[in-house]
Structure 1
Amino acid sequence: MPKPTPKRAAAKAPATAAAEREPRGARRKRETRARLLEAALRLMARKGMEGVAINEITEAADVGFGSFYNHFESKEAIYEALMDQVFEDFGDALDILVRDIADVAEVIAICVRHTLLRARREPIWGQFLIREGFSARVLERGLGQRLLRDIQKGIAARRFTTKDPLMSFVAVGGTVLAAISAELQFGSAQGPQAAMLAALGVSGEGLAGRAAAAILQTLGLAPKEAEAIARRPLPVVEAGG
């Protein structure tokens, strides 16, 4: 009898194969850059860009001080890279997610819900967003810029009854940031604050949808419609977003 043909080894995943082809020096450089960004995120989430020194970042990342400048020209440069990684990439993913949704009210509800859900999954990301949300840079780029854009669209289309885009942005943005803070503190039914909320007769569950509904009402939608939109099935952001 002929011998059975050996089974061919399964093809390696593209990411694994690419990693093996990557030169060792390039891989180390990429990993060092990632450690610097992670350390900067943790520190700046607590103290802001202005309150963090470069040597703090390198010590937290366990990287030599001089190596920092192999990746970033300055503290401002690593902050800009963080903004791209933390907010621009996520904002781009949200833009793709809602590009075929015609109703700007649903667009805002989806984006608000995904933002709060990510803050729950990644508390440091949420803390960084809260800090940056109160900075003068909030309208320059990222999620704040996109929120103002969508509010302006809704006003132009007469979907929202509000007349003042900036004050609507302030009201909605403040609600988002406060809801993220509440999500980080009260979002878990098993968290240490759950008993306190129960004693007060309130619940911290479902904050993402509740925040979206409240925001739509702030923009002029009737409560019933706002709640219906905020309860619609939530499309999924692609991995990495």
Structure 2
Amino acid sequence: MTAIEKGFAAVGEPWEASDHRQRVAAKRRQRMRSLLLSSALRLLVENRTPSPSIDDIICAAQVSRGTFYKYFPSSEAIMRELIGRVAEQWVKVADPIVRSHDDPAEHISRGIRLASMLAVHQPGVAGILGRFGWSGYQAPSMLEFVRRDIEDGVRRNRFTRMPITLAFNIVTGAAMSAMHRMLETECRDDFSELAAAVALRALGVESATANAISTSPLIADIMLFRDMLGQTLSDAP
């Protein structure tokens, strides 16, 4: 028996009973944290407010302000965590498809085209990433998702050497444009391919090659995008 176990035994409380209460308390905290995150997420998806305030969130969750502060110090803190989780889930879904080819130019093209698919099949997720993820709102996984391929393309002389910020803006601008346009009824079916080709040309890929890459077969099961929001919070601590 450890010293801690002996201490509990000395006051007449079995170690197992204390451990059980700790697990129950931990699960209760996890449920409340998930409730706050899911409430903020629902507000974003429903577009009821551009960036939910604490009052918005506690009203949706039906909890007190004091309860909120037990888990998050501010509305910015919960948004930072939430956007990070959405971005991580997007990268988790898209990364295997993007990385199934060795060419960094192909990676960039596939990422842009997948972003347009996301807008069609999961407009709620696309809306969140469009407003916050690719505009620099604390989504490090997405920054790394794009940065690694830009740097690899420059290193392999696939892309023109330029400031990483400029290259990043080219790629994310094309991805956001594709997401927004694909939601419009009059959008051309091949808009995402055109956006990918334009981005590659801006990065320094020869025009004919950029066109060929942007129209190469992209096999992505739409089921991969299903329930992305649910999976976003499934492992919330």
TM > 0.5 fold call: yes
Q: Which moved more, 1:54-63 or 1:82-91?
A: 54-63
Q: What is the CA–CA distance in structure 2 between the aligned matches of 1:143 and 1:75, rounded to whole Å?
A: 21
* SS of residue paired to 2:58: helix
Q: Which residue of 2 aligns with 1:116?
A: 116
Could you tell me how far 1:120 is from its partner in structure 2?
Answer: 2.4
Q: What is the CA–CA distance in structure 2 between the aligned matches of 1:61 and 1:214, rounded to whole Å?
A: 44
After superposition, give the CA deviation of every residue in 1:48-77 in whole Å (9 maximum; x if it has no partner): 55xx32111122344444443454443233
Q: How does 1:28-177 map to 2 (within 5 A)?
A: 33-43=33-43, 49=51, 52-69=52-69, 71-132=71-132, 135-137=135-137, 141-177=140-176
After superposition, give the CA deviation of every residue in 1:103-153 in whole Å (9 maximum; x if it has no partner): 111111111111221122222322222222574546x61323321221111
More helix by share: 2
Say if 1:41 and 1:124, in contact at 8 Å, map to a contact too.
no
Instruction: Confirm whether residue 206 of structure 1 aligns to residue 205 of structure 2.
Output: no
Q: What is the CA–CA distance in structure 2 between the aligned matches of 1:213 and 1:177, rounded to whole Å?
A: 14
Q: Which amino acid is the alignment partner of residue 197 of structure 2? A: A
Q: What is the identity percentage for the equivalent residue pairs of Structure 1 and Structure 2?
A: 31
After superposition, give the CA deviation of every residue in 1:32-59 in whole Å (9 maximum; x if it has no partner): 544533432354575555xx32111122
Q: Which runs of 5+ in 1 are unaligned?
A: 1-22, 195-202
Q: What is the CA–CA distance in structure 1 between the aligned matches of 2:100 and 2:122, rounded to whole Å?
A: 27
Equivalent pairs, count? 201
Q: What is the CA–CA distance in structure 1 between the aligned matches of 2:37 and 2:197, rounded to whole Å?
A: 34
After superposition, give the CA deviation of every residue in 1:139-197 in whole Å (9 maximum; x if it has no partner): x613233212211110110011343332222222222222222223x1xxxx3xx3xxx
Say if 1:126 and 1:180, in contact at 8 Å, map to a contact too.
yes
Say if 1:83 and 1:142, in contact at 8 Å, map to a contact too.
no
Report the CA distance shift for 1:65/1:99 in structure 2 as closer, same or farther (over 3 A): same
Q: Which residue of 2 aligns with 1:218?
A: 202
Q: Which amino acid is the alignment partner of residue 189 of structure 2? A: E
Say if 1:144 and 1:173, in contact at 8 Å, map to a contact too.
no
Say if 1:105 and 1:216, in contact at 8 Å, map to a contact too.
yes
Report the CA distance shift for 1:217/1:78 in structure 2 as closer, same or farther (over 3 A): same
Q: Which runs of 5+ in 2 are unaligned?
A: 1-22, 229-237
Report the CA distance shift for 1:222/1:132 in structure 2 as closer, same or farther (over 3 A): same
Q: How does 1:2-13 map to 2 (within 5 A)?
A: none
Report the CA distance shift for 1:171/1:97 in structure 2 as closer, same or farther (over 3 A): closer
